[in-house]
Structures are given as C-alpha cells and as structure tokens.
C-alpha cells in the first residue's frame, strides 16, 4: 500500500515539475519580447524578494508533517485535529508577518529601482506577486502539511498542475492581447484561486473527522525552530550564487549564471520529486517502528535513486552545451557558451543530489535538531568559499564554492543516516557512487568519440537526446543487474505488488 501511494505521488509530482519547468522556459521570452528585459528582470527580482519574505513560515510544513505521522498511523483524530489547527494558526501568523513585509517592500523598493520602470508599476507588481506568495500561508500550507503526512502529495501536485496550466494559458492570452503587465500578473494571481478551491473541496470530502475548530496543540510541534534552520540555510545555499556574482562581477555574468541555473534548477526539481513522493512512506514505517522494513525499503530507494541521477546527469553532460548553443543563439551581448561552467555544474548537481536519499530519511525521522549544526556549516562554507573563489576564478569560482559545500553535505548526510538511523556501514553507498562514476566517465568518453554532434535546432536536439538517453539507460541498467542484482530484483518485486 505504501509503495503504491509512493508510486502515485511520484507520477503526479513528475507531471507537476515538468509543467513548472516548461512554464519557466516559455514565459520569460514572451515577457521580454513584449515588455522588455527590464520588466522581466524586475519580476524575477521581486519573486526572489518574495521567496526571502516567505522564510517567516519556514519550518511549519516540515515540522507539522512530521508530528502528524503518529496520529494518522494510530487513527488518533482528536490529536490530529489539534495539530492541524495549530499548523493552520502558525501559517496564518506567518502570513500576517509576510503581508506586512510585502507592503513595506512595495513602498520602499520602488525608490531604488532605476527610472526605466515607473514606481506605480513596480509597486503594483510587488503587491500582486507578493499576494501569490502570501496565499500559500493563508490557504495552501495547512492542507499541504496534512496531505504530505497522509501520503497524498499527489493531490497537492494535481492542484498545483491545474493552477500552473491555467496560469500559463491566462498569461499567454493577456500577453498576446498586449495587456498591461500589471493586468497579466493580476490574472495569473486570480487563477490560483483554483488551487485553493480544489484542496478545500478535497479536504471537506475526505477529512470529515478533522475538526479545524479544535484547540490547537501547538506544544506538539516542538521541532519547528530546528526545521527553520534547515530551510533558511537551504535558501542561502541554493540562491546565493547569482546574488554574489552580481555583486562581485556584474549583472551580465549573473545573466549567464541564470541560464545555467534555470537548467540545473529544473534538474534538481526533477530529482527531488522522488524524495517528495516517498518520505511520508518512510515516516509511516518509522512511526510503526518497522526497522527491518525501513532498511530494505531504503536500500531499494537509495539504489534506484543513485543510478537514476547518474543517468540524468550523464545525459545532461552530453546534451547541455548543444542546448545552450540553441537557447542563447540570440543573446549576443555576452558569451553564454562556457563548457567548463557546464561541467562544474554537472559535478555539483551530482554531489547535491546523491545526498537526497539520506536527506529524505532525516526529514522522515524528524532529525532537525540533531542535524541543524551541519546545515549551518554548509551555508557558511558555501558563502565563504564562493566569496574567496569568485575573486580568484570569476564566475567559475561561484560554482566551485557551491561544489565544495555540496560535497561536504553529501558525505555528512550519508554518514549521519547510516550511523544514527539505519545502523549500517557506508560501504554500500560509496561502492554505488564509485561504480556509477567510473561508468559515467566511460560513457561520456565513448559517445564523444563515436558521435559527432552537429545540432542546429530543438528537433535535432531532441532526436540526439532520445538516442543518447536510451543508450545511457540500457548501460546503467545492465550495470545495476551486475552489481546490485538482489536489490534490483526486490525493487521489481515491489513494483509488481503495486499492480
């Protein structure tokens, strides 16, 4: 049952992420061509500001989800209702604080924007985009925490996908009609009412036993402060590069970095799909103290995940620069074609994602307090390394700085999970990493010597990507059968049980 729920969550999370990635690539060129780069840059900047403002709600969802595992497993609906009400109350408080911050930004930020965008437009855009962010706290967060704990992430994914599709349709129509950008963003904001409606209707129909008027059991959510540390440090690690590059090198170099971040941000989102789909299942196993099942399930998860991300990143390495060449062919004011930067991002992406299985288990166990010091070290290492290396190596230094902190955190997560949660040695995971790395280098060298890339458009790019993708998948599957036959068989057996 758990495996089936995880599989359903996985499928719908994949759909949601791909829709989000497509929108991320489609809308910016439309905005630039119709309203100019200044408006597009302003929207991107405001969205970043809103993301930072949303840290007022950091840790509520993850801490709330963790404490809901036990009452859901025991069908203790009285306690569950109290926790749900507490999560709701905490999100409303965070929403109030965020709303105040957004209003302050709407008044102050336009004073610092250059004259190519008028103050009223800037102010209105801050309010519109800020309203979308705040709505997450007032209307979405409590349902997301509950559905995640109940292994029903797919409901959130469906609501998000529907909202994103309608957002894209409304935005494209309004842009094509040459509507004012404020009207475009207002239309996009109103569309998100659909998400709220879908989640509310599902909650009323399927959670009649939850009394959202119950006295909030705020004392049950004891790990929120520790979860906040993880979320804020993750925000710093994931978003510091472009800020530091813009400050120390310049906006054009930041623009180059943003193109690579768009691609690798999408890849990270795809890889995180699997952890988002499965960590509630681990939480259920942990709540029921089924240690042997936990070890076996994690072995299957870790094995399949590591092989999967090596497949993704080997294909990415081979297809990245041809894609950059096509995507940036009309961007001629600075050189975007930087193979070394692409290689560094591939290695960083691998290190960043290898840790996801271990990180998933840490979240499922609620080990926020025990691991927060490592998050602090990662964030400090990330920022300091980047500042030092940017001044020596330029834009490459930013990525190397991220790589250093990612490698540290990868080894740290693996060590902690295996020692403190699973009580096993690290040999198994390190063996898989080494084997996959050697195979990856072999595939890259072989394909680069056999296939001569001459890709001129997206159609040709997709053809090459499919051919190379099939080759890489087959090779890694054979390697998995050779070195992880037992685990592969258990994984296939688990999949068959779902149908």
Q: Which of 53-67, 230-244, 343-357 is least confident?
A: 53-67
Residue 283 has pLDDT above 60, yes or no: no
Q: Determine the longest span between alpha carbons in the chain, in angstroms.
A: 67
Closest to 232 (Cα-Cα) out of 130, 369, 102, 375: 375
Inter-CA distances, 266 with 9, 293, 489, Å: 18, 32, 30
What's the rounded mean pLDDT across residues 362-371?
A: 78
Q: Helix and strand tally (H, E) in the chain?
A: 19, 0
CA–CA distance, 26 with 163 (Å, rounded to integer): 16
| pLDDT attached to residue 225 | 65
Q: 């070394």: which residue's tokens?
A: 340
48-97: per-residue pLDDT in tens? 677 767 666 666 777 777 788 778 888 888 888 888 888 888 888 888 88
Closest to 98 (Cα-Cα) out of 46, 44, 48, 135: 135
Cβ burial of 293 (10 Å; 0-12, 13-18, 19+) is middle
Cβ burial of 292 (10 Å; 0-12, 13-18, 19+) is exposed
Instruction: Give the pLDDT band of residue 451 (cuts 50, 70, 90).
Output: confident
| pLDDT attached to residue 441 | 96
Token readout for 157 is 């994914």
What's the rounded mean pLDDT across residues 350-374?
A: 84
What's the rounded mean pLDDT across residues 467-482?
A: 95
Three-class secondary structure of residue 138 per DSSP? helix
Average pLDDT over all residues of the chain? 82
How many CB atoms within 10 Å of residue 51? 13
Residue 380 has pLDDT above 90, yes or no: yes
Instruction: Give the pLDDT band of residue 430 (cuts 50, 70, 90).
Output: very high
156-171: per-residue pLDDT in tens? 888 888 888 888 898 8
> How many residues make up the chain in this entry?
499
CA–CA distance, 259 with 277 (Å, rounded to integer): 28
Token readout for 79 is 């306690």
96-138: per-residue pLDDT in tens? 888 888 888 888 877 766 556 678 888 888 888 888 878 878 8
């Amino acid at each position: 049952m758990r495996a089936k729920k995880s599989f359903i969550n996985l499928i719908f999370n994949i759909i949601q992420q791909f829709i989000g990635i497509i929108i991320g690539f489609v809308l910016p060129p439309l905005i630039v061509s119709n309203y100019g780069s200044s408006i597009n840059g302003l929207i991107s900047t405001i969205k970043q500001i809103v993301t930072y403002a949303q840290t007022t709600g950091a840790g509520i969802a993850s801490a709330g989800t963790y404490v809901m595992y036990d009452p859901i497993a025991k069908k203790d609906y009285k306690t569950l209702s109290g926790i749900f009400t507490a999560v709701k109350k905490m999100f409303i408080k965070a929403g109030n604080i965020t709303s105040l911050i957004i209003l302050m930004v709407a008044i102050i930020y336009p004073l610092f924007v250059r004259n190519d965008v008028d103050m009223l437009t800037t102010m209105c855009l801050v309010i519109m985009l800020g309203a979308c962010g705040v709505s997450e706290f007032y209307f979405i967060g409590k349902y997301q925490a509950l559905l995640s704990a109940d292994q029903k992430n797919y409901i959130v994914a469906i609501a998000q996908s529907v909202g994103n599709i309608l957002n894209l349709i409304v935005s494209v129509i309004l842009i094509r009609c040459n509507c004012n950008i404020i009207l475009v963003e207002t239309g996009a904001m109103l569309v998100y009412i659909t998400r709220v409606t879908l989640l509310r209707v599902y909650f009323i129909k399927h959670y009649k036993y939850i009394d959202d008027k119950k006295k909030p059991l705020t004392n049950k959510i004891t790990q929120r402060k520790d979860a906040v540390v993880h979320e804020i440090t993750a925000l710093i690690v994931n978003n510091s590069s472009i800020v530091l590059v813009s400050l120390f090198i310049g906006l054009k170099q930041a623009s180059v970095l943003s193109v690579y971040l768009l691609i690798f941000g999408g890849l990270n989102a795809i890889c995180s799909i699997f952890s988002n789909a499965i960590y509630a299942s681990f939480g259920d196993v942990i709540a029921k103290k089924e240690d042997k099942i936990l070890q076996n399930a994690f072995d299957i998860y870790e094995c399949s995940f590591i092989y999967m991300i090596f497949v993704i990143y080997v294909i990415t390495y081979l297809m990245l620069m041809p894609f950059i060449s096509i995507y940036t062919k009309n961007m001629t004011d600075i050189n975007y074609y930087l193979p070394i930067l692409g290689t560094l991002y591939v290695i960083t992406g691998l290190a960043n994602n290898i840790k996801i299985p271990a990180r998933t288990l840490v979240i499922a166990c609620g080990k926020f307090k025990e691991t927060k010091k490592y998050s602090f070290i990662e964030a400090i290492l990330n920022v300091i390394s980047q500042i030092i290396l940017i001044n020596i190596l330029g834009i490459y230094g930013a990525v190397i700085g991220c790589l250093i902190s990612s490698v540290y955190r990868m080894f740290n997560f693996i060590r902690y999970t295996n020692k403190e949660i699973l009580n096993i040695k690290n040999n198994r995971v390190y063996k898989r990493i080494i084997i996959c790395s050697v195979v990856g280098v072999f595939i890259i060298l072989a394909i680069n010597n056999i296939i001569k890339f001459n890709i001129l458009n997206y159609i040709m790019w997709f053809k090459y990507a499919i051919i190379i993708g099939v080759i890489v998948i087959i090779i890694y599957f054979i390697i998995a059968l050779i070195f992880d036959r037992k685990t592969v068989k258990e994984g296939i057996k688990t999949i068959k049980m779902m149908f």
